[in-house]
Amino acid sequence: MFSLQGKTAVVTGGGSGIGKAIAELFAQQGSQVVVADLNAAAAEETVKTIEAGSGRGLPVAVNVGDQAGLKSAINDVISRVGRIHILVNSAGVSHIGRLDTTSESDFDRIVQVNIKGVYNAMQSVIGHMKEQGGGVILNVASVAATLGLSDRFAYSMSKGAVVSMTLSVAKDYITDHIRCNCISPARVHTAFVDGFLARNYPGQENEMFEKLSKTQPIGRMGQPIEIASLALYLCSDEAAFVTGSDYPIDGGFVRLNT
């Protein structure tokens, strides 16, 4: 079960965090993985890890917010590998702030990556998937898309847009045999979290880590591999009957926080 043998997957943001975990797990399950990331060195490092496990990976340095550059990169990948069966949109940036503390430049940066980046990637592959008779798109949203979280105005807005785009694409291309879903994690322990704590709470990292962990009723943050495992299911043939859905993976954050 959950084999991706013979399939090619593009994972944006595959150089770190959740995207890296997804890329590595997909490769373990037999997929050839195109690791697309703004950080060329990080993309190459993920591919090295994949190849060390006897998997197949291809690093691609690209800015998802640059439509022309991304389309060119996707077309180059198609010319090299033939087909793209799976697209995972994991590239994203965060922002902390309320409406009155979110500058125009902050807002534009979030839109450029978290909204336009997802739009650009999906638009780059949708024609190809139609021509080949189908495909799978998985977007990484967040519990922030559907909950009111403090100090997450722009970030929450962007993830709400990801959920909406997911539903639209699932509806519009269902007869083309293209499935589109999204997953909405709560807090996941990545290097980003560690960096955030070090910058904002120097000397209090452990205390704040515990505090953030306990906001999930399950009592801890998620691990990237746990998010990757759900992504694997949704992109596999075992999920052939699943489209147009948003899956919380949140340690009970959405339903059990009262």
246 has which bridge partners? Answer: 182
| C-beta of residue 12 within 8 angstroms of C-beta of residue 36 | yes
Q: Which residues contact 76 (CB under 8 A, 6 or more apart)?
A: none
Distance CA(113)–CA(135), nearest Å, equals 23
Tokens of 50: 């994949």
Closest CA to 16 of 224, 249, 245: 224
Return the amino acid letter for 136: V
DSSP type of residue 39: -
155 has catalytic annotation: yes
Distance CA(200)–CA(222), nearest Å, equals 21
Alpha carbon 96 to chain centroid distance? 19
| Active-site choice (119, 155, 201, 233) | 155
Helix (H, G, I), strand (E, B) or coil at 92: coil
φ/ψ of 99, rounded to 5, equals -55, -45
Tokens of 241: 């009957």
Which residues have a catalytic role annotated? Answer: 155
